[in-house]
Structure formats: C-alpha cells, structure tokens
C-alpha cells in the first residue's frame, strides 16, 4: 500500500500520493479560504504531517482509501494556518477535548447523495450561515471550536446555528 | 582567440587555446611545448602512461600552473586569480582517481561540492544536485554512504560532481575506469548529449570510447602532441601497414596472436615491408593505428 | 460507489463556480471516490511547483551532528556545511589533542618540572591541526574540490579557523588546569608561538603542500627545543620569556602580513 511506502521513507511514494490527492484537497480547501498562500502552506504542512505520520494511518470501516484521513489533516492544518495569521502573538493554547455535534459518520451517508435526495432541497432552503455551520461540523467533521475559528464566529453561535439548521432539516425531511 | 557575442552572453569559439605549454617537474618536462585549439565537441586524448595526459588535464583544469607557454581557457588566463575563479565556475573536472569522504552520503557529498561551486541558494543547489544524480543514475542511491558504493558507482559520483553547474568545458580524466559495459554505453550517451553544448576533453586508454565518441583525437607522447586530427585520419595513416599471416613474424614489427591462431602484424613506417605471399592486408582499426603511431616513435614493444 | 459526479459537476467544482449545495455534495462524494478524484481537473504547473517545494523539505542531504550544531549556533548554512566537511585526519587530530593534553596535565601534576611537557606540546597543537586540514595527500576529496571557485584561500582559511578555535579552547583550558598557573595571562604563554608557527606554515604553503610546510615548521620548533635543552646554561623555557614573546609577536605580525599580501596578489 502507498501509505506504508510513504511511512518507509520513500519519496517516490509521497510524490504519487501528492499527485493523487493534492488537487482535490486544494480545490476543497479553496472553498474555505481564499488566500492562496495560506492554502498552499496548509497543503504543504498536510503532506509533511503525512510524511511523518503515515505509519499511524488506520483505515476506518467504510474508508476505501486515505481520502477521509487526509482531509481531516488538511482542514486542521488550514485552521492552524489561519490561527497563525490571526494571532501571531498569542501562544498556541492546549487543544481542548474535541466536542463534535451529532454523529458525523451517520450523516455522511445521507450527505453522500445530497443532490438527488430530499436533503438537497432542504439544504437549498437553508440560509448560507446555517449551511456553512452544517458544512463545517458535519461534512468537515470539525469540533465546535475549530468551526468557530474557520467561520470566524463565536463558539456559542456555532452551536445555536447547528441546532437551528438541524431542526430545519429534520422538519424538511419529515414533512 | 575569437569571441563573439550572442543573445545571452559571450560565446567563445575556441574554448581552449594553448601554445607552447610547458610543465616541468624538476628537470623533467612532463609537457614539452603543447599547441592546441579546442572547440565544441568531444576530443579524445590518447597516450601511454606518463605521456603527459593527466598533467595536461590538470593544467587545463587550473589545478597545476604552467611552467611556460600561453594558455587561454574559456577565453580567460588561468594565471590570473580572478580569471582562474571564473574558469572554475564554468568548468567541470573529473580527476583521474577521484576520492571522497567515505562517511558522506552521495547527496551530501555532491551538495558539498555544489557549495564549493557556488551554486545558488539551497533550493536551486539541491535541484541541481538531483539533476546530476539522475544523469549518472545514482538518484536511487542518494542516501547511501560513499563507502558503501561500488567502484563504478564512485566513478559515476565523480562524474556527477563534474557535471554540477552545467559546465561549458568538461575535463574527464579516464572516466570509464570501473564502469561495466552497459554503464559505458550510458556514459557515451551522456557525453555525446553534453557535447552538443560543451567542449569535452576525454583522456583515456579505451580506444573504443574514442572511436565511439570523438570527432577529434590528440595523441601525446613524451609531453608532445604527435597526432592531431580525426579518428579517420589516424586510421588512414595505418592503411597498408596492417596484415594478418599464419606464422609468427620476424623481429622489428608489433604483432600478436589472434584467437584463430593467425597473427596480426603492424609494420611501422620506415620498416621495409617484406612482400610475403602468406600475408593478407587488412583494414586497420583505430587501435592498430594508435599502436602504430606510438610504437613507431619508441620502437617495438 | 453507485454513482459518479458528471464531467460538468467536476469542472464547476474545480473552477470554484459550484453553488454551496452542489459543492457539499461533491465534497462528500470526493472524500470517498478515487475515480472522481482522478478526473478532477488539476493545475499541472501548480502541482509540479507544489511537489518541488515539498520534496525539498522531505528529501535533503543528511546533515551530520557537527553541521547541525554549527547551524544552531548561528553560522550560515553554507559556512556550516564547509566547516563540517573535514577530512577524517582532522577528527583524529582532535582526538589526539585531547589525549596529549590530558597526559601533559597528568604529568605536570605528578612529576617535578613536568609542566615542561605541556609547554613544548601546546604551541604545536594548532600547527599540526592546520597541516592536516587542507591539501593534497591529507584531504581525500582534495582532487575533486581543489578546482572549484571556492577552493584555495577561502577554504584554506575556513579550515584553519576550524582548527584554531578548538585548539585554542582546548589548550587554554588545559593551561588553566596546570598546577603553577593562577592568572589567565600566565595561562596563554604558548599562544603567540603557536599563532606565529601557524602563520609561518600558511606563508610557506605558497611553495609547498600545506602538510609539508607544517612539517617543516614543526621540525624547526623541535630543533630549537633540542638545541636549547642540550646547550649548557640554556633552557627550552627561554622560548617563553617576555623578550621571546616580543619576538614571537613581531614574527606573527610579519608572517600574517606576508599571508595577507599573498591573498591580495592571488
């Protein structure tokens, strides 16, 4: 497997991994950050983290490859880039225990077919603020604190928006 | 010395121009009045051990100072310090027996040489080192320590060091020692590719390399140039002087026994060519021609 | 995967023109679908650049402990690399120096007049190091590096510095541990002769290999010691009297001048 070759220190394997995954990760990060420099820095850090930690990858049930794993690294690297830019003078604080909202994996399966299912229509109905709150917490699997950072709103606001969005969606799906 | 200016800078028509070059060691003259002009392409330097090949290479490489005569390398005078540094920037040199720090890795050693060659910032320097390692097929061994490399690999490492910085003048002193036949083919391929842009001087005992690569041959003997021309011209000189016969020939000629039991005979100029019915004239090879040339000057071996 | 993104969806997503909901859908799908990821249009130039940036971080020549240490104390990357790349003889010299100075110290503490051993060895420690630091015969990579633009004086002086700094530190430390020494000025009686001999060696290297020059100067030192020791009424320690120190200082100034002139002229 590619990642075990990366873990063994083969730069050729890392090159293949980079070629396969950098384009979509970049496209996806671009929907979350418009500064190309920060984006490229986050991607570079992502692959460096992979280079150092490839051995620790263990696929979750249902993962066909490292895609989901890479994305969780990439989005967290982006947040840490944004944090660096925003609070250069504040020392990195200890990460708090992750507090996620809802069961991401269960909702993933619904999201997989957004376009074609009733959820698509429901999402269309949501305001952009509520939609981005759902996107950050459910689709990107971020903690409340991380979502607050990337959306640049207080944590309390994230929580209320997610609750409101979920209520709207549930309503739309049950009626 | 003719120089002209093209779009990107000064282009030197004759990359090397030497006249009356003398280099003495004590009372012995290793180089005794060398004249030569070298343009682009590969020039082969032939000659027996002690003929002065390595001394000439080291003089051209600015490693040795001339004892007399005039030299211009890439349009510069190696005796002047600033010129010498400029020559060194644009020249690559593979010494006869290159040796290295055994505890260095391939990448580390070439990076060290690249620093000494003043190649750019870290990033550009590493890219240049990678390019050189790829060219000599050592990229996969880049993190191996030098002491773990085979003889052929070390030779390629020396070649990679010479190639760093894309030199205009490439001086290779016996570069194919230790290479296996496949590597030699690859080496020839690489050198012909380089020779499109650069001037390459190849000092060697491998006549096949000269036949395959060189548009021009220089033969040295006792510190003098005894032949300067194309391989074809060297062969033409030997025509009519190479024979094959069934019995061992008399003294006074160079000969050796062939696999089929016949003898190949080289009859030097000035030696009467006895007309024998048993002899068959054959087309000389470059090696025959070279042996005749050097043998003619210092008797038979 | 039962369905795939259409060509159109992929292009709009990659071009950043997909609407929010389509983008969310595409993202949820791409996370798990290698097929659609491979069809996503990519900016090849950017990809190559990005890989080159990444490669230069993950694939570098291995740096030794010495080089890392030199970088850590603030030397420029190139200088650290050049200083760290020393012939193995240099390491042997460093080891031997520590050994000899330890022995000299032990002798000085145990034997009457034992400090003489330190007095005659300390001045040649830097000289030997310099003689082994550069040039054909002592540096295996010399034939490869001697015709590079940075070779010659710059490399020679760099290597000399790489010898002088540890040599002076080691000798001063040893001198301070000597039984008879109480002040720093008493501890550095060997310094001027040592520097003068190094300068002499560098000056001589114009005409001969550095190792040979070092050998010559070292032999002269030995000869002077033997002559002073063998002659009645004289003593090797005369080489360190204030008058002698003044001569050493003069010699050092003159020889340093010669070396500098040579560098200017070269």
Lowest-confidence region among A55-69, A98-112, C64-78, C246-260: A98-112
Q: In this complex, do C61 and B62 lie within 8 Å of one another by their Cβ atoms? A: no
Q: Chain C within 8 Å of A37 (Cβ-Cβ)?
A: no
For residue A98, what pLDDT band results from cuts at 50, 70 and 90?
A: very low
CA-CA distance, A160 to B49, in Å (whole number)? Answer: 89
**pLDDT score, position A106:** 43
pLDDT given at position B6? 40
- Looking at residue B249, what is its pLDDT? 76
Residue C264, pLDDT above cutoff 80: no
Strand pairing partners for B284? Answer: none
Cross-strand bridge partners of residue B92: B170
Q: Which of A133-142, B133-142, B156-165, C41-50 has the lowest mean pLDDT?
A: A133-142
Q: Which tokens hold the place of A63?
A: 């993962």
What is the mean pLDDT of the segment spanning C213-241? Answer: 86
Burial class (CB in 10 A: 0-12, 13-18, 19+), B10: exposed
Closest in C56, C87, C149 to B88, CB measured: C149
The structure tokens listed for B108 are 């580390």
Rounded CA-CA distance B4/B11 in Å is 6
Do residues B99 and B193 make contact, with C-beta atoms less than 8 angstroms apart?
no
Query: Which residue in A85, A88, A94 sits closest to A150, CA to CA?
Result: A85
Q: Can you tell me whether residue B108 is helix, strand or coil? A: helix
CA distances from A65 to A2, A26, B231, C225 (A): 10, 18, 61, 78
Site of tokens 């994996």: A105
Residues 8..67 of C with a Cβ closer than 8 Å to A: which?
Answer: 13-14, 16, 20-25, 27-34, 37-38, 40-43, 46-47, 50-51, 53-55, 57-59
**A30, C41 Cβ separation under 8 angstroms:** no
Asked if the model's pLDDT at residue A137 lies above 90, the reply is: no
CA distances from B69 to B35, B51, B78 (A): 9, 18, 12
Option in A19, A68, A124 nearest C32 (CB): A68
Residue burial C157-182, b: 16+ Cβ < 10 Å; e: rest:
ebbbebbbebbbebbbebbeebeebe
State the pLDDT at residue A118: 66
The H or E element spanning position C178 is none
Answer whether C162's CB lies under 8 Å from C116's CB. Answer: no
CA distance B63 to B65: 7
Which 3 state secondary structure label does DSSP give C232?
coil
Instruction: Give the pLDDT score at B276.
Output: 63
Give kind and range of the element (H or E) at residue B199: strand B199-203
Residue A84 has pLDDT above 60, yes or no: yes
Task: Count CB atoms within 10 A of the CB of residue B103.
Answer: 13
Task: Report the gap between the CA of B287 and the closest CA in chain C (Å).
Answer: 30
Beta bridge partners of B170: B92, B200
User: Is the per-residue pLDDT at C241 higher than 90?
Assistant: no
DSSP 8-state code for residue B166:
-
CA distances from A16 to A13, A22, B59, B191, C36 (A): 5, 10, 47, 32, 17
Q: What is the pLDDT along chain B (301 residues), one digit of tens a residue?
A: 444 444 333 444 568 999 999 999 888 899 999 999 998 899 999 998 889 999 999 999 999 989 999 999 998 999 888 899 999 999 999 998 888 888 899 999 999 999 999 998 888 999 999 999 999 999 999 999 999 998 889 999 999 999 999 999 999 999 988 888 888 998 999 999 989 889 999 999 888 899 889 999 999 999 999 999 999 999 998 888 888 888 777 766 778 888 888 888 888 777 766 656 677 888 888 988 998 888 755 444 4
Identify the burial level of C101 via C-beta atoms within 10 angstroms of its C-beta, where 0-12 means exposed, 13-18 middle and 19 or more buried: buried
The tokens for B19 are 């006249």
User: At B289, which helix (H) or strand (E)?
Assistant: helix B286-298
- A132: closest CA of chain C, how far (Å): 9
Helices (H) and strands (E) in chain C, counts: 15, 0
Q: What is the DSSP string of C58-117?
A: HS-----HHHHHHHHTT--HHHHHHHH---HHHHHHHHHHHHHHHHHHHHHHHSTTTHHH
Residues of chain C positioned with their CB less than 8 A from the CB of B91: 147
* Residue of C65, C143, C145, C263 for testing the chain B interface, max B β-carbons within 10 Å: C143
Residue of C nearest to B108 (CA): C61
Q: How far is A87 from chain C (nearest CA, A)?
A: 26
Q: How far is B223 from B247, CA to CA, in rounded Å? A: 37
Distance CA B216, CA B45 (A): 9
Q: Which of C154, C149, C61 has its CA nearest to residue B112?
A: C61
Integer Cα distance of C144 and B92 in angstroms = 10
Separation CA B159–CA B276 (nearest Å): 49
Separation CA A86–CA A78 (nearest Å): 12
pTM of the model: 0.80
Please report which confidence band the pLDDT of residue A67 belongs to, taking 50, 70 and 90 as the band edges. Answer: confident
Query: Which chain A residues touch C53 with a CB distance below 8 Å?
Result: 40, 44
Contact at 8 Å (CB) between B215 and B24? no
How many Cβ pairs within 8 Å bridge chains B and C?
88
The confidence band for A89, taking pLDDT boundaries of 50, 70 and 90, is very low
Chain C residues with CB-CB distance to B109 below 8 A: 141
DSSP strand pairing (B169-173 vs B199-203): parallel
Identify the CA nearest to C196 among candidates C146, C145, C258.
C258
**What is the residue-averaged pLDDT of chain A?**
78
Cα separations in angstroms, B264 against B81, B208, B210, C44, C118: 52, 18, 22, 62, 72
3 state SS of C32: coil
Strand partners, B12: B3
A:C CB pairs within 8 Å: 102
Give the distance between the most distant pair of CA atoms in chain C.
106
* Nearest alpha-carbon partner for B44 in B175, B158, B162, B203: B203
CA atoms within 13 A of residue C188's CA, in its CB half-sphere = 9
Q: Does the pLDDT at position A102 exceed 70?
A: no
Which span out of A59-68, B164-173, C187-196, C209-218 was modeled with the highest average pLDDT? Answer: B164-173
Helix (H) or strand (E) holding A114, with range, is: none
CA dihedral C194, C195, C201, C202 (to 10 degrees): 160
User: Cβ contacts (< 8 Å) between C31 and chain A: which residues?
Assistant: 67-68, 71
CB atoms within 10 A of CB B100: 24
DSSP secondary structure code for residue B76 in this structure: B
What is the reported pLDDT for A107?
47
End-to-end CA, chain C: 74
Whether residue A24 and residue C59 make contact (CB cut-off 8 A), yes or no, is no
Q: Which residues of C touch A28 (CB under 8 A)?
A: 27, 30
Does the interface ipTM go beyond 0.85? no
Q: Which residue of B has its CA nearest to C263?
A: B81
Angle at B42 between CA B233 and CA B72, to 5 degrees: 105
Spatial distance between the Cα atoms of C197 and A41, rounded to a whole number of angstroms: 54
CA angle C21, A116, A24 (to 5 degrees): 50
Question: What is residue B16's predicted lDDT score, i.e. its pLDDT?
Answer: 92
A113 to C34: CB separation less than 8 angstroms, yes or no: no
Enumerate the residues of chain C whose CB falls inside 8 A of the CB of residue B111: 61, 81
| Packing angle of the helix pair A155-174, A118-125 (nearest 10 deg) | 130
């Amino acid at each position: 497997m590619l990642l075990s070759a990366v873990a063994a220190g083969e730069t050729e394997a890392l090159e293949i991994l980079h070629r396969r995954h950098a384009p979509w990760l970049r496209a996806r990060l671009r929907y979350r950050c418009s500064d190309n420099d920060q984006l490229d820095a986050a991607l570079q850090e992502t692959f460096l983290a992979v280079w150092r930690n490839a051995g620790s990858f263990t696929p979750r049930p249902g993962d066909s490859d490292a895609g989901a794993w890479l994305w969780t690294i990439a989005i967290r690297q982006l947040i840490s880039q944004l944090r660096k830019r925003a609070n250069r003078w504040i020392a990195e604080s200890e990460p708090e225990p992750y507090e996620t909202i809802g069961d991401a994996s269960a909702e993933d399966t619904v999201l997989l077919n957004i376009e074609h299912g009733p959820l698509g229509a429901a999402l269309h109905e949501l305001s952009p603020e509520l939609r981005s709150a759902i996107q950050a917490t459910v689709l990107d699997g971020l903690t409340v604190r991380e979502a607050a950072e990337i959306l640049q709103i207080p944590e309390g606001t994230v929580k209320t928006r997610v609750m409101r969005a979920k209520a709207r969606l549930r309503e739309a799906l049950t009626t | 010395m003719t120089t002209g200016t093209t779009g990107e800078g000064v282009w030197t028509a004759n990359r090397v121009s030497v006249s009356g070059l003398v280099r003495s060691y004590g009372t012995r003259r290793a180089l005794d009045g060398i004249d030569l002009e070298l343009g682009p392409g590969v020039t082969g330097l032939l000659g027996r051990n002690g003929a002065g090949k390595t001394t000439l290479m080291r003089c051209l490489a600015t490693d040795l100072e001339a004892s007399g005569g005039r030299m211009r390398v890439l349009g510069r005078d190696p005796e002047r310090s600033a010129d010498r540094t400029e020559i060194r920037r644009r020249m690559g040199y593979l010494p006869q027996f290159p040796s290295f720090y055994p505890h260095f890795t391939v990448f580390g050693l070439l990076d060290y040489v690249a620093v000494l060659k003043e190649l750019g910032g870290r990033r550009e320097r590493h890219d240049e080192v990678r390019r050189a390692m790829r060219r000599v097929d050592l990229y996969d061994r880049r993190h191996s320590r030098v002491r773990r490399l085979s003889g052929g690999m070390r030779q390629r490492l020396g070649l990679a060091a010479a190639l760093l910085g894309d030199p205009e003048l490439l001086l290779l002193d016996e570069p194919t020692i230790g290479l296996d036949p496949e590597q030699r083919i690859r080496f020839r391929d690489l050198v012909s590719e380089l020779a499109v842009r650069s001037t390459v001087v190849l000092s060697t005992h491998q006549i096949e390399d000269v036949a395959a690569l060189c548009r021009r041959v220089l033969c040295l003997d006792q510190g003098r140039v005894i032949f300067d021309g194309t391989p074809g011209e060297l062969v033409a000189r030997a025509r009519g002087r190479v024979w094959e016969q069934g019995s061992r020939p008399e003294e006074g000629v160079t000969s050796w026994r062939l696999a089929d039991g016949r003898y190949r005979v080289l009859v030097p100029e000035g030696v009467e060519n006895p007309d024998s019915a048993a002899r068959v004239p054959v087309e000389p090879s470059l090696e025959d021609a070279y042996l005749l040339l050097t043998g003619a000057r210092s008797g038979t071996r | 995967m039962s369905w795939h993104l259409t060509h159109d969806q992929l292009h709009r997503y990659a071009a950043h023109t997909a609407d929010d909901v389509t983008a969310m859908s595409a993202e949820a799908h791409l996370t798990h679908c290698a097929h659609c990821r491979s069809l996503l249009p990519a900016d090849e130039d950017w990809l190559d650049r990005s890989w080159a940036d990444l490669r230069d971080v993950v694939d570098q020549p291995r740096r030794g402990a010495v080089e890392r240490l030199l970088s850590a104390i603030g030397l420029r990357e190139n200088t650290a690399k050049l200083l760290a790349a020393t012939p193995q003889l240099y390491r042997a010299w460093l080891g031997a120096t520590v050994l000899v100075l330890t022995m000299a110290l032990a002798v000085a503490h145990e034997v009457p007049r034992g400090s003489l051993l330190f007095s005659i060895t300390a001045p040649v420690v830097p000289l030997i190091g310099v003689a082994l630091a550069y040039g054909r015969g002592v540096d295996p990579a010399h034939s490869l590096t001697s015709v590079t633009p940075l070779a010659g004086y710059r490399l020679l002086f760099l290597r000399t510095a790489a010898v002088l700094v540890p040599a002076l530190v080691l000798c001063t430390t040893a001198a301070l541990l000597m039984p008879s020494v109480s002040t720093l000025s008493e501890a550095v009686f060997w310094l001027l002769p040592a520097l003068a001999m190094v300068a002499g060696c560098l000056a001589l290297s114009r005409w001969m290999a550095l190792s040979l020059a070092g050998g010559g100067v070292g032999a002269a030192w030995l000869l002077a010691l033997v002559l002073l020791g063998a002659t009645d009424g004289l003593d090797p320690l005369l080489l360190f009297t204030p008058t002698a120190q003044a001569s050493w200082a003069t010699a050092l100034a003159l020889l340093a001048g010669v070396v500098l002139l040579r560098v200017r002229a070269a």
